[in-house]
Amino acid sequence: MVYLNFTNLDSETQERLLSVSKEDVESRSGTELLQFAETHDKDYDTLLEEEAMRNLYSYDFVFNM
């Protein structure tokens, strides 16, 4: 098995995983992020992307070869 982190993946794979992570974060805590963005006058999309990146770095990517 090969263990990689997010930065070891190619850019196409990173973009695909980032979009999946955004959907995951939005489904789990989208309303809380939106409320936080409105309360603190922040950009929702920026917050979503930051949370999606944090979410990705919590994953372990394992590939069987």
The tens digit of pLDDT for each residue in 1-51 reads: 666 666 677 888 888 888 989 999 999 998 999 999 999 999 999 999 999
Q: Which domain holds residue 9?
A: 2-63
What span, in angstroms and rounded, lies between the C-alpha atoms of 57 and 8? 12
pTM over 0.85? The answer is no
Count: domains in the chain: 1
What pLDDT was estimated at residue 51? 92
What pLDDT was estimated at residue 26? 93
What letter would DSSP give residue 9?
S
What letter would DSSP give residue 8?
G
Q: Which of 61, 11, 54, 4 is nearest to 29 (CA)?
A: 54
**Mean pLDDT within 49-59:** 86
What pLDDT was estimated at residue 17? 86
